[in-house]
Amino acid sequence: EAKAHHRGTWVMFAHEHETRMRLQGAIEHALRHADLAAELSLVFQPMVDVGQQRTVAFEALARWHSPELGLVSPDRFIPVAERVGLINELTQILLAKALRVMATWPAHVGLSFNLSMADITAPEAVGRLCALIKASGVDPSRLQLEATETAMIDDFAQAQAGLARLKALGVSLSLDDFGTGYSSLAYVHRLPVDKLKIDRSFTQGLMEHDSARKIIRSILELSRSLKLDCVVEGVETHEQAALLQALGCRTMQGYLFHRPMAPEAIGPYLRREDVGTSALDDTRFSRR
């Protein structure tokens, strides 16, 4: 019985593994043959100051429309691009696009952009990113770069050097997915971090699990005592937002406010927010 069951489980895992390998192979093949500049695009998700009910920045999120594979999620193609050495090229294309879009926004709205480890640890790649940022002419204080801690500790000295060069431009640095295995406490004080982004897994457990609430509360306290900004990701409901606000969280991001949107949608979105007819108006946040 038990043996048969285990064998069945193994067969299933083996099958899943095979399917995953085949998919990764297909992604790798399509990526290598892609016209990346044409097929990659960005969508933007607002980060909202709930006290002021105002969008303070947008996070740029990559999308890949492959002619062969259709729309591929970044959770699938970014790891492959990292593995096959295409990530630096991909990041440059995306950052150039993001900076062009950002140039059309009002000056109080910032841009948050995700980087991979190789973007920070390869000196030539860092140099190209710095050049792009300078050439764009945008005020670097409006630009935040997001990375996970693993992205930095794998090659800590190189990461520190790369981050120092980027930070010298005047951009700020956010630790993404904070609280997960990818980002935790180990290196916060040794890296030039300005902001923590609390991972959405904690937000998802917020209403049901006391532990998630306690973890979020401690991270918020930690960020206050270290004088770091803090953003909570993955806020989907009014209940979550109200509880987070009660815990002292000011900046939030998630489907409650808006799904990631195409660049063309941002102008109208900000105008709705300006005249006070945005989706946020029926929320129970107090204006402060």
Which residues are near ligand C2E by CB under 6 A?
45, 61-62, 73-75, 78, 94, 114-116, 146, 176-177, 200, 233-236, 253-255, 260
Q: What are phi and psi of 130, to 5 degrees?
A: -60, -45
How many residues sit close enough to Mg ion to count as binding (CB under 5 A)?
5
Check if the beta carbon of residue 199 is closer than 8 Å to that of residue 178. yes
| Cβ 274 to ligand C2E shortest distance, Å | 23
Of 176, 192, 99, whose CA–CA distance to 142 is shortest? 99
Among ligand C2E, Mg ion, none, what does residue 236 contact (CB within 5–8 Å per kind)?
A: ligand C2E
> How near is the Cβ of 196 to ligand C2E at its closest, in Å?
12
Q: Which residue is nearest to ligand C2E (CB)?
A: 254
The contacts found for 18-25 with CB under 8 angstroms, 24 or more apart, are 23/76, 24/80
174 to 213, contacts with Mg ion by CB under 5 A? Answer: 176-177
Query: By C-beta, is 38 or 48 nearer to Mg ion?
Result: 48
From the list 3-11, 100-108, 231-239, 280-288, the region that binds Mg ion by CB under 5 A is: 231-239
Amino acid (1-letter code) at residue 57: A
Using CB distances below 5 to 8 A depending on partner kind, what does residue 125 bind out of Mg ion, ligand C2E, none?
none
- Between 233 and 273, name the residue whose CB sits nearer to Mg ion: 233
Among 119, 146, 149, 273, binds Mg ion (CB under 5 A): 146
Task: List, in sequence order, the alpha helices (H) in 113-256.
Answer: 117-121, 123-136, 150-153, 156-168, 200-205, 210-225, 238-246
CA atoms within 13 A on the CB side of 134: 11
Restricted to residues 102-131, the positions that interact with Mg ion (CB under 5 A) are 114
AA identity, residue 40: L
Cα(120)–Cα(159) distance, integer angstroms:
5
- Binding region for Mg ion (CB under 5 A): 114, 146, 176-177, 233
